[in-house]
Amino acid sequence: MAKKVIPQSKYHCRDCKHSYDWHEKDWKGDVFMCRCKFSQWSKFLNRDICDKFEKR
């Protein structure tokens, strides 16, 4: 049985101009959460892009 291949984007939420308020640092001191004006909740910075993506 063949596996379904999901295409990966080379861009993530951290590359979008709509991401702001980067917060929640990990143990190394790197931030990994952000806010987006199109979302009610925080998102991961390494999340794949959405349909509202605009490059910084």
pLDDT digits (tens, 9 = 90+) for 1-55: 677 766 677 899 999 999 999 999 999 999 999 999 999 999 999 999 889 999 9
Which contacts qualify for 35-43: CB closer than 8 Å, 24 or more apart? 43/13, 43/19
The total of other beta-carbon atoms located within 10 Å of residue 13's CB is 22
Give me the residue label for tokens 């979302």: 39
pLDDT the model gives residue 5: 63
Distance CA(5)–CA(27), nearest Å, equals 33
